[in-house]
Structure 1
Amino acid sequence: MKQTLADTAYEKLLDMIYSLKYQSGDRLVEQQLINELEISRTPVREAIRRLAGDGLVDLSTGTFARIHTFTAKEKQDIGLVRLAIDTTVAPLIVLNASNKDLQDLMSIAADCQRASDRNDIMERIRLDFKFHQVLVELSGNQVFTDIQEQLTKKGRLIQIQHYSENGATFCNLAGHLDILQALNDRNTNACIKAMQDHLRPSYASHGVDSKIWEVAETALRTTDVTPFIQQH
C-alpha cells in the first residue's frame, strides 16, 4: 500500500516525540509543524488526530495540541494490562513459536543489550518494546497483538519521559534471556514467572503500587488457560 502524506507526517511526528524534540506538555502548533515537516495542513491535522488516538497527544481547542503527560494511575493501568497480556499469551507462544522464531527473538534481545552497553538509551528502549511486541505476535492472536501495539506506543513514551525527567530508566535486560530460556524449554509456568519478574521492577520504578501488582500476579497465576488452549 502506498504511503500517504498523512502517514509520512505521522511517522515524522512520532520520531520527534520519541527523540524528545517535543517533550511532555509541549505544544504542537499546527502552522509550525506544517513549516517544519514541509507537508500541507490536512495531512498534518490527520497525523495529529492519529497521535491523539494513540493516547500520545491531547487535542486542544484552536490550532494546537499538547504532548500527553502520563499520570501515575495511567502508568499503573498500562503496566497491569501489559502484565496480563504477556502472561496470558505465554501458553500460546510455547505452542506456536518455532525455533527460528525464538532465534529471531534472541537477536532482538542481543541488539537491545548492545544498545544498553553503549549507553544508547533511546535505542535500548525501542528494542525492549520491540522484543515484547514480537513476543506477543508469536502467540498468533491478532487481538492481543493489536492491543500490545497500542500499549507499546504509550509504554515507550512513558519510559522516554521517565528518562528525560530522571536521567535514568530501568530495564531488566537479563529478563529477556530468562523468558527465552523458558520458551526454548517449552515451559509455560517458567515463562509466566520470567515475564512477571521482568516487568515488575520496570513499572515499580514508575511508582506502580506493589500491592496492586502482587494481587494481579496472584490472580493471573490462579487463572491457568493452558488446558483450554491445549484442547483447542
Structure 2
Amino acid sequence: MKKNEGLSEQVYNYLLSQILFDELKPGEKIAEAKIAQEFNTSRTPIREAMRKLESQGLIQIFPKRYAQVATFSEKEIQDIGMIRISLDILSIKLVAINGSKAELLNLKSIAVQCLDAFRNNDGVQRRKLDSDFHKELCRISKNNLLFNMQEDLSLKIQFILMHN
C-alpha cells in the first residue's frame, strides 16, 4: 500500500505541474488510461491523485464518465478574490500581534522578489512568489488553520492567474 501512496503522490505532483504550467488547459479531459500507462500502474493511484486535485478545486470528476481540468466562472473568481482579501486582512491583524521584525523583513524580501519577477515578465516565478508571500503572511500570523486555508486557496489562485 505504501508503494501506491507514493505513486499516488507522484501522479498528483505530475498532474498538478501539468495544470499549473498550462500543459493541461481548463476544461481539458484528463486521460486516465494514458497516465496509468506512463506510470506503468493501475488506475487506482491515478484516481487517488485526481480525488486530491478535485478536493483542491483544480479538477472536476464526473463519475463513470471522465475527469477534466476545472474552469472558473467570473463569479467564482470574484468569490476567490474576496476570500483571499479576507484572509489577508485577518493575517495582517494577527501579524501585527505575533510577527517579529525578522519575519517582516523576510516577507518584504519575498515582495521585492515578486516585483522583480513582474518587471522581468517572469509569470511563473511571479505566481510562485505571490503564493509564497500570502502563505508566509499567514504563517507569521501563527494561525495554522488560516495557513492551511491560504495554502488550498493559493493553488486555485495560481491556476486562475495562469489562465486569465
**CA–CA distance in 2 between the matches of 1:55 and 1:155?**
11
Alignment-derived partner of residue 147 in structure 1: 149
CA contact 1:109–1:127 (8 Å) conserved in 2? yes
CA distance in 2, matches of 1:39, 1:159: 33
Q: Within 5 A, what are the aligned runs for 1:39-54?
A: 39-54=41-56
In the other structure, the counterpart of 2:24 is 22
Q: Distance in 2 between matches of 1:135 and 1:142?
A: 12
Unaligned 5+ runs, structure 2: none
Larger radius of gyration: 1
TM-score under structure 1 length normalisation: 0.65
Give the deviation of 1:63 after TM superposition. Answer: 5.6
Identity of aligned pairs, percent? 35
Alignment counterpart, residue 89 of structure 1, candidates 58, 68, 91? 91
SS of the residue 1:86 aligns to: helix
Cα RMSD, aligned residues only: 1.8
Q: How far has the Cα of 1:64 moved from its partner?
A: 2.8
Structure 1 unmatched runs, 5+: 163-232
Q: CA deviation at 1:106?
A: 2.2
1: distance between equivalents of 2:71 and 2:50?
A: 16
Moved more, 56-65 or 145-154: 56-65
Q: Which amino acid aligns with 1:8?
A: Q
Say how many residue pairs are matched.
161
How far off is 1:133 after superposition? Answer: 1.1
Deviates more, 1:16-25 or 1:85-94: 85-94
> After superposition, what is the alpha-carbon deviation per residue over 1:18-71, rounded to whole angstroms, capped at 9, x for unaligned?
000001100001111123344542211100010001011000233630101001
Q: Is the 8 A contact 1:105 1:135 kept in 2?
A: yes
TM-score under structure 2 length normalisation = 0.90
1:34–1:40 Cα contact (<8 Å) kept? yes
Alignment-derived partner of residue 116 in structure 2: 114
The question of whether the paired residues in 2 share the 8 Å contact of 1:29 and 1:63 is answered with no
Q: Is this contact kept in 2: 1:136–1:145, CA < 8 A?
A: yes
CA distance in 2, matches of 1:114, 1:18: 21
Does structure 2 conserve the Cα–Cα contact (< 8 Å) formed by 1:55 and 1:68? yes
